[in-house]
Homo-oligomer: A and B are copies of this chain.
Amino acid sequence: MNPLLKEIGHNPLLWLLAFVPVVFVTQKLTPAAHTLLFLLAVLAIVPLAALLSHATESVAAKTGDAVGGLLNATLGNLTELVIAFTAVRAGQYMLVKASIAGAIVTNTLFMLGASFLLGGLKHHVQEFNRVNARLQAGLLFLATVALLVPSAVSEADSAPAAAFAQHLSVGLSVLLIVAYGLGLVFTLKTHREIFGSPEHGEGDEAPWPLGLALATLAGVTVLVALVSEVFVESVQGAALELGMTPAFVGFIVVALVGGAAEMASAFSGARKNRLDLSVGIALGSAAQIALFVAPVLVLLSYVIGPTPMSIQFWPGAVVMILLSTMTAAMVTNSGRSAWFIGALALLVYATFAMTLYLLPPRTP
């Protein structure tokens, strides 16, 4: 357990692990203190996400490039997946969808924008491999189409037959997972020489031994699942008490919490002038959520949810995802970046956040 403890001693973010037991004790003592539980759960998830991400990288480093990349790709958003899994089991589909859409938008605009801004404040002009950015933007665009077309087409029909929505959701979910798989084959196998392997460059730190990494992976996943349960239970009560709209909490707060660990990696890459890494994490993660996490949750809802979950999103969320994808395509188009490009993406994000924050809550 030496490397784990050493890592904890080294990385102040991990000191927040102390909040994990605090969450469980507090829940036992005062189960109705929503805001307190919500804040404690947020503080506990952040270091767990960081550990999970580190363990995943260590496992990926041990296996070959192709398997490692696959592992990294499928486990990279484990935190989001576990949070959403808990919410699906509770039947809170509004929260699930808000957090999916929020994660896509936050990764695309906030993580990418802040990377460009932080990198640009240190380096005058930065360059990156735009081929990867284009691929991820293309995948995101496909996902946006899959979210957009059903409502655009059925809207005109004014008979939003439930059976139609369900069949279509299953079909589109399978299609998105296929697209994601083909994307992995393309980047990790047939055309890997074009993409380099920026996702592996993260490991400045020496990787952990495999046993430790796997044990951490298993243990931390259980902890994240338990804390997520507290989080999902308390989030709506907390939103009410804090005067935030549920849309703002689901879209912005959950996404920032779930992505905290990845953001730390992306920002540090940008400061070190390794923008390929930042772009890969930000857009790769967004594409993963849209083409892997979201459809898997739709399919899982048939097994673990109270009712099937459709893939149809609230129109406002679809518009924001579409605009985020367009912004990502625009700001990565030239393969060069400066601080203002990052500021622009952050301002688009600020527009969304401001609108959601001020949105009047629906009257039931």
Task: Give the B-binding residues of A (Cβ under 8 A).
Answer: 124-125, 134-135, 137-139, 141-142, 145-146, 148-150, 152-157, 159, 161, 163-164, 167-168, 171-172, 175, 178-179, 182-183, 186, 190-191, 314-316, 319-320, 323, 326-327, 329-331, 333-334, 338-341, 343-344, 347-348, 350-352, 354-356, 358-360, 362-363
Contact = CB atoms under 8 A, between A and B. Distances in A.
A362 B157 contact: yes
A168 B358 contact: yes
Contacts of A339: 186, 190
Closest 10 CB pairs of A and B: A153-B316, A186-B340, A152-B319, A161-B360, A164-B360, A171-B354, A156-B316, A168-B358, A179-B347, A149-B355
Contacts of A359: 153-154, 157, 164
Given A149-B355, A159-B363, A171-B354, A141 B330 contact: yes
A348 B186 contact: no
A168 B354 CA distance: 7
B327 A330 contact: no
Nearest to A344: B138
A145 B351 contact: yes
Contacts of A156: 314-316
Q: Please state the number of chain copies in the assembly.
A: 3
Contacts of A153: 316, 319-320, 355-356, 359
Nearest to A354: B171
Interface centre among A157, A167, A355 (most CB of B within 10 A): A355
B350 A149 contact: no
A284 to B, nearest CB: 15
A175 B186 CA distance: 40
Nearest to A157: B362
Contacts of A163: 360
Given A138-B341, A146-B351, A175-B350, 12 more contacts: A124-B191, A134-B334, A139-B344, A141-B326, A149-B352, A150-B355, A152-B316, A159-B360, A159-B363, A171-B354, A178-B347, A179-B343
Given A171-B354, A358-B168, A359-B154, A182 B343 contact: yes
Contact of A164 (B154, B315, B358): B358
B319 A167 contact: no
Contacts of A134: 333-334
A155 B316 contact: yes
A177 to B, nearest CB: 11
Contacts of A190: 338-340
A239 to B, nearest CB: 16
A124 B163 CA distance: 42
Contacts of A338: 186, 190-191
Contacts of A358: 164, 167-168, 171
A334 B333 CA distance: 10
A124 to B, nearest CB: 8
23 contacts: A125-B191, A134-B333, A141-B326, A141-B327, A142-B344, A142-B348, A145-B323, A145-B327, A146-B351, A148-B323, A152-B316, A153-B316, A153-B319, A154-B316, A156-B315, A157-B359, A161-B360, A163-B360, A167-B358, A168-B354, A168-B358, A172-B355, A190-B338
